[in-house]
Amino acid sequence: MNKNTSEQNQNVLSLLLKEIHTPIDIAMREDISASLEGCDPDLIEIINYALFGGGKKVRPVLVAACSRLCGRDDISLYRLASAFEYLHVASLVHDDIIDNASKRRGRLSLAAKYGQEKAILAGDWLLSRSMFIIAELTGPPGLSIFCKATEGMVNGEFLQNRYVRDISLHEENYFKIIECKTGNLIASACQVGALYAGADKQQLANIGLYGQCLGSAFQIIDDILDYQGEEKNTGKTVGNDLVEGKITLPLLRALQKSSENERLEVERLIRHERELPQTYQKIFTFINTYQGFESAGTTANELIERAKNSLSLFDPAQHAEQLSILLGLADYILARNK
């Protein structure tokens, strides 16, 4: 694909996403206004700060696009989609508390601005509201999909913590972590949207595979950007994963090619000197020398191709707009810099 074609596709995708974002934003504001009526002013302020501070709203867009792909588009769909933004933001709020992060999306994190206690309570409120909406609009089947994803997110965090600073982490466990933390949630957004539209068993399976592959690729690119990204684009401090001792795919791929002495040196740096600025540069050079970034990028590309192929059962002529969104999001994940 040449540069001009790529830019044209991104422009079309931007227009299509804007068309979905508008009713999602309206639904979120209406739902928040109604559900927070009579609540403490601080809670109202904090929830609005958390929800309307930017973000690509990938998950609610996927809910809407997958429902429309399977034949249903109504006002309640966008309220359903908002539930996944509530869940996503709740998870970010809690992640920032766990990581002691001061910034999120280029501004103060909720905990940094309002304090940990209020941030935790706001995250709890968002999670509760998301579950209420899912149950109301999709019943037990939708809630089951949703809750399995949230349970998986928690398990993924525990698995990741188990392997902090541990360079013996196997790729199999790395992929299990990112499937739990990111892949399952993306897949659940896609499947709940399809379920809402009355998708059949095969459609649900393929749409779930699309979401799982998309989410895993998203996380791999995120892991690459933690080393190669720029803070002005990502809104996060570069090298943060390294400081936290997280072992991600670019480093794993480089370690596979390194000597025993090099592995021991990397282990020493990660265990004892990971917070030093020069350690980031040393690890970056190590990964780059052994093509760890390239190898991880290749895997992300393979996952995206698998995601795209899973949508082949839908007729392109009949579902052109929604397929453009879903396929365009897949391409965007590989090209993103934030």
β strands within 63-121, DSSP E: 103-104, 107-108
Two tokens at 302?
């393979």
The mean pLDDT of 278-300, rounded to a whole number, is 97
pLDDT value of position 119: 96
**Class of residue 320 by CB neighbours under 10 A (exposed 0-12, middle 13-18, buried 19+):** exposed
Find tokens 């068309």 and name the residue: 19
pLDDT greater than 70 at residue 36: yes
- 89-118: per-residue pLDDT in tens? 999 999 899 888 888 888 999 999 999 999
pLDDT of 327 higher than 90? yes
> What is the average per-residue pLDDT within 112-140?
97
Count the domains in the chain: 1
Q: Provide the greatest CA pair distance for the chain.
A: 63
Any residues with CB less than 8 A from the CB of 69 and at least 6 apart, and which? 194, 197, 207, 314, 319, 322, 323, 326
CATH code where residue 265 lies: 1.10.600.10
Radius of gyration of the chain (CA): 20
Categorize the per-residue pLDDT at 233 as very low, low, confident or very high, splitting at 50, 70 and 90: low
Residue 10: pLDDT band (50, 70, 90) is low
Mean per-residue pLDDT, 125-133: 97
Which residues neighbour 189 within 8 Å (Cβ) at sequence distance 6 or greater?
A: 59, 60, 62, 63, 66, 84, 211
Going by the DSSP 8-state scheme, the letter that residue 163 receives in this structure is T
User: Across residues 135-140, what is the average pLDDT?
Assistant: 98
Q: 218-250: string of b/e by CB count within 10 Å (b at 16+)?
A: bbbbbbbbbbbbeeeebebebbbbbbbbbbbbb
Averaged pLDDT for residues 208-233: 90
Which of 1-5, 103-107, 214-218 has the weakest average pLDDT?
Answer: 1-5
* Residue given tokens 């002691």 in the structure block: 100
Given a contact cutoff of 8 angstroms between Cβ atoms, the answer to whether 218 and 182 are in contact is yes
Contacts of 255 (CB under 8 A, 6+ apart): 167, 263, 266, 290
Contacts with 120 (C-beta within 8 Å, 6 or more apart), sequence order: 93, 94, 97
245, 266 Cβ separation under 8 angstroms: no
Tokens of 132: 């209420």
pLDDT cut 70: percent of the chain above it: 94
Q: What is the pLDDT of residue 54?
A: 77
Q: How far apart are alpha carbons 128 and 43 in whole angstroms?
A: 14
Query: Higher model confidence: residue 108 or residue 232?
Result: 108
> Do residues 156 and 174 make contact, with C-beta atoms less than 8 angstroms apart?
no
Tell me: pLDDT of 133 over 60.
yes
Predicted confidence (pLDDT) per residue in 170-195, tens digit: 999 999 999 998 999 999 999 999 99
Q: For 144-176, how does the pLDDT look when each residue is reduced to its tens digit (9 = 90+)?
A: 999 999 999 999 999 999 999 999 999 999 999
pLDDT exceeds cutoff 80 at 250: yes
Percent of the chain with pLDDT over 90: 82
Q: Name the residue among 62, 5, 18, 22 with its Cα closest to residue 323.
A: 62
Look over the chain and give the mean of its residue pLDDT values, rounded to a whole number.
Answer: 92
Mean pLDDT of 201-209: 97
Q: How confident is the model at residue 5 (pLDDT cuts 50, 70, 90)?
A: very low
Question: pTM of the entire structure?
Answer: 0.90
- What mean pLDDT is predicted for residues 258-281? 95
Model pLDDT, residue 338: 63
Residue 303 corresponds to which amino acid?
Answer: L
CA of residue 238 relative to chain centroid, distance: 18
Q: State the residue range of the domain holding 192.
A: 3-335
